């Protein structure tokens, strides 16, 4: 009897183990196998079990998203490379052998200079030397600059360069050249700019590349106060980042690549700078945060400092262009420069025919240069930048070269206001490049909406939410304004006189010739 009962217990135990094994192992595998046999992705395992148990049907959900708008945009025929992958040497800014040979010598000189300074200071801290690397993204960026743009459409260097700036080790930090030129002289009673907005630092990296750091000064949600003049506005790190992405989307490719990065103010600036003037502007706030401020003439007060939390601070890193010794640049006053006084106006603000004078003045007798000015005006209007007092060109390319669209930190200040006077070059000259016009119209369509492709592009940056939604939507609104201004010009002068197919050394028509077409 006892053996009979023991046999039944063992049988029940074996059946229980078998049932548990079927329920927890064989049954899920069977369901997974069934779902794999379907042509479409099946519902998740948990939903499948629920549907089998209840008899309810679960609609299959696709797990393959559609192609992103940004990817589709760059695949559009208007964005496809038209030039050979390897431009002819005379169209490149730098000579490969001359540039790389010079950079190698500079690395040796840089390391010797740092070693001598390190020895003179009797520092016991380890010194990291720069290492020259021919495949470094910053060097490839320099070597790809051509007559047409800062980088080719087909280049993958930009992505590598942005990732590099977000990760590479900082081995030295210094003041920017314009701040060095002050030589410590400071009289704040004579300063027109009281807000200390020009706070920037040059960072030197492990592989000898450099970038301009502009730290976070204003929260993204904050708008520039209405009473602020454009020349005392804050410089915004996120505006630099967003301007680069917009420039690339418009296919201008005239803004040096910019990346967002969290910078450690202590270990990546204060502890690696050889400049005593830069060390002097660092302090620890009452909240125990590391802070630093700009020297005069921008400001003399620590109230205008920026602070980490306690050491980390957001900033934008703009890739450095080749040095002036390798690639001289010419700084040219903007013909539509604004008055940098609290009262008074420039001639273009009171003379509707001002463009006729510009057309008769070098270098704007060259149609390419004038059309590039129209591109710059539309770009500045879209970002809301009123502070374009100068622009730069590479002297090697002369009047046929492109305009550099750098220093955009005063953009994206007020999403609720569109400053139509920034478009003065466009509505006074009534000219626009055909390629630019076609891309602007493309970006106004629902399939390639400018705000959507900008949102996708900015999401690739390391910093979260580079632009707030109101700023993104303002881009769509301003784009419509640009299109409307050009359409009014077309109605007035005719399509052939306004929409211009670009060609080198093309003469600019006078207003009389433009009306006669």
Mean pLDDT across 71-78: 94
Model pLDDT for residues 223-248, shown as the tens digit of each residue:
766 656 555 667 789 999 999 999 99
Q: Which one of 247, 380, 387, 461 is the catalytic residue?
A: 387
Q: Which residues pair with 203 in a beta bridge?
A: 173, 211
Model pLDDT for residues 301-318, shown as the tens digit of each residue:
565 788 999 999 999 999
**Residue 219: what pLDDT?**
80
**Residue 162: what pLDDT?**
96
Q: Is 458 annotated as a binding residue?
A: no
- Work out the end-to-end distance of the chain between its first and last CA atoms, rounded to an integer number of angstroms: 116
**Residue 190: what pLDDT?**
35
Mean pLDDT across 118-140: 85
Q: Specify which of 12-16, 138-142, 274-278, 291-295 reaches the highest per-range mean pLDDT.
A: 138-142
Look at residue 296 and tell me whether its pLDDT is greater than 90.
no
Distance, CA of 482 to CA of 489 (rounded, Å): 11
pLDDT band at residue 510 under the 50/70/90 scheme: low
Q: Is 268 annotated as a binding residue?
A: no
- Give the chain's radius of gyration (CA, Å): 30
Distance, CA of 170 to CA of 91 (rounded, Å): 33
**Residue 49: what pLDDT?**
29
Collapsing DSSP to helix, strand or coil, 355 comes out as helix
> For tokens 């964005």, what's the residue?
79
Look at residue 506 and tell me whether its pLDDT is greater than 70.
no
Look at residue 454 and tell me whether its pLDDT is greater than 70.
yes
**Residue 268: what pLDDT?**
96
Which of 183-187, 225-229, 436-440, 484-488 comes out lowest in average pLDDT?
183-187
Distance, CA of 136 to CA of 164 (rounded, Å): 9
CB 236 within 8 A of CB 413: yes
Residue ranges of E strands in 80-179: 170-175
Cis before 310 (ω within 30): yes
Look at residue 448 and tell me whether its pLDDT is greater than 80.
yes
Distance, CA of 393 to CA of 370 (rounded, Å): 13
What phi and psi, each to the nearest 5 degrees, are found at residue 382? -65, -35
pLDDT band at residue 205 under the 50/70/90 scheme: very high
Enumerate residues 6+ apart whose C-beta is below 8 A from 401: 147, 393, 394
Collapsing DSSP to helix, strand or coil, 102 comes out as helix
Kindly write down the DSSP assignment for every residue of 177-208, as one continuous string.
Answer: HHHHTTTT---GGG-S--S-----EEEEETTS
Q: What is the DSSP letter of 268?
A: I
**Residue 240: what pLDDT?**
96
Per the model's pLDDT, the better-predicted residue between 285 and 57 turns out to be 285
Per the model's pLDDT, the better-predicted residue between 86 and 362 turns out to be 362
**Residue 393: what pLDDT?**
96
Distance, CA of 361 to CA of 298 (rounded, Å): 34
Q: Specify which of 5-9, 395-399, 433-437 reaches the highest per-range mean pLDDT.
A: 433-437
Q: Is 320 annotated as a binding residue?
A: yes
Q: Which residues pair with 315 in a beta bridge?
A: 215, 261
Q: Is 240 annotated as a binding residue?
A: no
Q: Quick one: how far is CA 287 from the chain centroid?
A: 32
**Residue 14: what pLDDT?**
66
Q: Is 323 annotated as a binding residue?
A: no
pLDDT band at residue 128 under the 50/70/90 scheme: confident
Q: Is 469 annotated as a binding residue?
A: no
**Residue 193: what pLDDT?**
38
Look at residue 467 and tell me whether its pLDDT is greater than 90.
yes
Model pLDDT for residues 57-70, shown as the tens digit of each residue:
333 333 334 469 99
Look at residue 418 and tell me whether its pLDDT is greater than 90.
yes
Model pLDDT for residues 267-276, shown as the tens digit of each residue:
999 999 988 8
* Spatial CA neighbour of 412 closest among 211, 243, 175: 243
| Lateral strand order in the sheet of 258-264 | 170-175, 201-205, 210-215, 312-319, 258-264
Look at residue 350 and tell me whether its pLDDT is greater than 80.
yes
Average pLDDT along the chain: 81
**Residue 42: what pLDDT?**
34
Look at residue 194 and tell me whether its pLDDT is greater than 60.
no
Per the model's pLDDT, the better-predicted residue between 91 and 381 turns out to be 381
**Residue 222: what pLDDT?**
73
**Residue 226: what pLDDT?**
64
Helices (H) then strands (E): counts for the chain: 19, 12
Distance, CA of 438 to CA of 441 (rounded, Å): 5
CB 319 within 8 A of CB 256: yes
Look at residue 55 and tell me whether its pLDDT is greater than 70.
no
* 461 among known catalytic residues: no
**Within a 10 A sphere around the Cβ of 485, how many other Cβ atoms?**
18
**Residue 337: what pLDDT?**
92
pLDDT band at residue 39 under the 50/70/90 scheme: very low
Q: Is 214 annotated as a binding residue?
A: yes
């Amino acid at each position: 009897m006892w053996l009979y009962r023991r046999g039944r217990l063992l049988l029940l135990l074996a059946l229980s183990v078998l049932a548990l094994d079927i329920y927890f192992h064989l049954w899920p595998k069977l369901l997974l196998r069934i779902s794999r046999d379907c042509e479409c992705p099946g519902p998740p395992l948990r939903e499948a079990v629920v549907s089998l148990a209840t008899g309810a049907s679960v609609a299959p959900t696709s797990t393959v998203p559609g192609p992103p708008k940004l990817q589709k945009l760059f695949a559009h025929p208007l964005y496809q490379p038209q030039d050979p992958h390897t431009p002819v040497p005379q169209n490149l800014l730098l000579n490969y052998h001359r540039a790389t040979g010079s950079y190698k010598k500079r690395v040796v000189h840089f390391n010797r200079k740092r070693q001598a300074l390190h020895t003179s200071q009797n520092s016991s801290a380890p010194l990291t030397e720069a290492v020259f690397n021919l495949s470094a993204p910053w060097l490839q960026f320099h070597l790809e600059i051509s007559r047409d743009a800062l980088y080719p459409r087909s280049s993958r260097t930009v992505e590598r360069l942005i990732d590099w700036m977000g990760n590479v080790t900082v081995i030295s930090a210094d003041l920017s050249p314009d701040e060095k030129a002050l030589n410590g002289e400071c009289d704040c009673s004579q300063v027109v700019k009281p807000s200390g907005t020009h706070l920037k630092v040059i960072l030197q990296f492990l592989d000898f590349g450099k970038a301009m750091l502009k730290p976070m000064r204003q929260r993204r949600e904050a708008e520039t106060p209405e009473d602020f003049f454009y020349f005392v506005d804050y410089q915004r790190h996120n505006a630099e980042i967003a301007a680069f992405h917009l420039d690339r989307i418009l296919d201008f490719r005239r803004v040096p690549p910019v990346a967002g990065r969290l910078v450690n103010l202590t270990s990546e600036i204060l502890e690696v700078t050889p400049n005593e003037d830069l060390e002097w502007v660092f302090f620890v706030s009452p909240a125990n945060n590391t802070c630093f401020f700009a020297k005069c003439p921008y400001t003399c007060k620590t109230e205008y400092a920026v602070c980490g939390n306690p050491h980390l601070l957001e900033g934008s890193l703009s890739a450095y262009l080749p040095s002036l010794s390798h690639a001289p640049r010419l700084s040219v006053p903007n013909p539509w420069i604004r008055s940098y006084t609290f009262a008074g106006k420039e001639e273009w603000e009171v003379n509707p025919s001002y463009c006729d004078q510009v057309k008769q003045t070098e270098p704007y007798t060259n149609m390419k240069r004038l059309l590039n000015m129209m591109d710059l005006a539309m770009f500045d209007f879209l970002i809301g930048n009123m502070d374009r007092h100068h622009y730069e060109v590479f002297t090697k390319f002369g009047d046929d070269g492109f305009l550099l669209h750098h220093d955009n930190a005063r953009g994206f200040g007020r999403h609720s206001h569109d400053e139509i006077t920034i478009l003065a070059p466009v509505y006074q000259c009534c000219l626009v490049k055909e390629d630019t016009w076609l891309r602007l119209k493309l970006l106004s369509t629902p399939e390639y909406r400018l705000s959507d492709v900008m949102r996708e592009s900015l999401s690739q940056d390391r910093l979260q939410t580079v632009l707030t939604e109101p700023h993104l939507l303002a881009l769509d609104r301003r784009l419509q304004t640009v299109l409307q201004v050009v359409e009014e010009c077309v109605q007035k002068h005719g399509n052939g006189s306004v929409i211009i197919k670009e060609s080198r050394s093309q003469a600019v028509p006078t207003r009389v010739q433009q009306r006669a077409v």
